[in-house]
Chains A and B, each alone.
Chain A
């Protein structure tokens, strides 16, 4: 395996890891808000957070370009302030992975939070604890299986991200070409040996990941 393929793998792991570290607390927060909150616009928030699950990743990527591009609603402000744009950087790949992985962790965590018996939350309140303490001491520990499952799904999704990354980060070998993009590049240019190498690496990582996740799940009761 040559340096460009190794770079692609390293970049993919880096992007997926950072995106996962960021998306887990965000996902837990939104899941808790959706599970417990009674406020106007809850359904709209739920739909908005879930959209990347059903939209083609290129459409999600398109929205991100509209928002974060140099002329975008948010991107233009960042550019005016710092002179920096996220477009065509590896950070853009993190952002794309974050957005497509978010609904996976929100859905699994929300289901886990909602399955905690409401009486346990009530009794915690009668024992003098507020919402945050109850969440940290009762709800989260009882939902750890769901949180771990959601984290695994989010990481796997981030590692395999293609469409939104392509739209936002581009496909610059040695800079923003993550492993899925590199595989596409190799295959489309007929460089089968390199494509084979990366495909093999991904297959091994995927299988190892699923195996560890299932072992871990069996341990946590």
Chain B
């Protein structure tokens, strides 16, 4: 169980060729801006369509160009936390969290909402609009919203970029806990190897639209595959 993909996509002269797999673990997609990391997340979510290849998540084929399978985003049921969190500005914290729980019985929905609010320590600002809470709280609301529907996988696009250092450290812990508690693949996009070292079970190193290396953070640090990876590690 986990994620398995091999896809290619060309947009405006940029070509992405990505193939990697991961189990129920925390995978970091690591590389410079513009290397194709966020694009990979969008392709996995079905927000962009690969030119060819396949994407399988927990044994289910979400996309396969040969078999002409292309599951719609809304049926893929993957948690996606955008870099800017993308909270609905006209809905309060509670409304944001239950947005993904359409079609679930009312009492069950309330129960999940309460569980999410407790897990992400959001007691207090439940009725506030996203514009009136801190960046760290916004991040936790985005996580709660993405996880409330019990997705088969969680994707996080540079989740710490807008946060100060203490909040970052705290949320790294929160995300590790999420992975352990939900036991789903968590894919994290980052360009900080410090973050990778601290959080990831596995790293996929992206360089100019290609996968340059995969492995554990320690293995990659010990033996970077070629000068491109070495240079990326040296950026810290």
Query: Which residues in A have some Cβ–Cβ distance to B below 8 Å?
Result: 117, 119-120, 122-130, 133, 137-138, 141-142
Cβ of B136 within 8 Å of any chain A Cβ, yes or no, is no
Complex Cα distance, B76 from A127, in Å, reads 9
Given contacts A126-B45, A127-B149, is CB(A141)–CB(B77) below 8 Å?
A: no
Q: How many B residues touch A, CB cutoff 8 Å? A: 25
9 contacting pairs across A/B (C-beta < 8 A): A119-B82, A119-B84, A126-B78, A126-B79, A126-B80, A127-B99, A128-B75, A129-B102, A130-B74
Q: Are A117 and B102 in contact (CB under 8 A)?
A: no
Q: Are B86 and A127 in contact (CB under 8 A)?
A: no
What's the nearest-Cβ distance from chain A to residue B186, in Å?
Answer: 15
Contacts of B145 in A (CB 8 A): 127
What's the nearest-Cβ distance from chain A to residue B45, in Å?
Answer: 6
Complex Cα distance, B86 from A117, in Å, reads 8
Q: Are B100 and A128 in contact (CB under 8 A)?
A: yes
Which residues of chain B in 67-104 are interfacial with respect to chain A, using CB atoms and an 8 Å cutoff? 72-80, 82, 84, 86, 88-90, 99-100, 102
Contacts of A142 in B (CB 8 A): 89-90
Contacts of A128 in B (CB 8 A): 74-75, 77, 100, 102, 149
Lowest 3 A-B CB distances belong to which pairs? A127-B100, A125-B73, A119-B86
What's the nearest-Cβ distance from chain A to residue B93, in Å?
Answer: 15
Complex Cα distance, B46 from A123, in Å, reads 11
Q: Are A126 and B84 in contact (CB under 8 A)?
A: no
What's the nearest-Cβ distance from chain B to residue A38, in Å?
Answer: 13
Q: Which residue of B lies closest to A128 (CB)?
A: B74
Q: Are A123 and B102 in contact (CB under 8 A)?
A: no
What's the nearest-Cβ distance from chain A to residue B42, in Å?
Answer: 8
Contacts of A119 in B (CB 8 A): 82, 84, 86
Contacts of A141 in B (CB 8 A): 90
Contacts of B73 in A (CB 8 A): 122, 125-126
Q: Which residue of B lies closest to A137 (CB)?
A: B99
Complex Cα distance, B86 from A125, in Å, reads 12
Complex Cα distance, B76 from A151, in Å, reads 38
Q: Are A122 and B47 in contact (CB under 8 A)?
A: yes
Contacts of A124 in B (CB 8 A): 99
Q: Are B88 and A138 in contact (CB under 8 A)?
A: yes
